Amino acid sequence: MTCKNGTVSKGDITYSKTSFTGSQTMVTNQSGRQTTVKSTMSGKYIGPCTK
């Protein structure tokens, strides 16, 4: 995905039956300096929401 200000974000998520893993890399230019942010994520199903 590319934003109007030139920020570029790329990533992927892999799902299994009850969990997921993923990563994202975002590159942006602020005040003439390039900044790269790398994130990883993971999660698992812990049951239905309670009211």
Tens-digit pLDDT string for the chain (51 aa)? 888 888 999 999 999 999 999 999 999 988 889 999 999 999 999 999 988
DSSP 3-19: -TTS-EEEEEEEE-SSE
pLDDT of the residue at 37: 96
Q: Evaluate whether 36 touches 51 at the Cβ level (below 8 Å).
A: no
- Half-sphere exposure of 3 toward its Cβ, with a 13 Å CA cutoff? 10
pLDDT of the residue at 21: 98
pLDDT of the residue at 30: 83
Token pair of 13 as six digits: 């998520």
What single DSSP character describes residue 50?
Answer: P
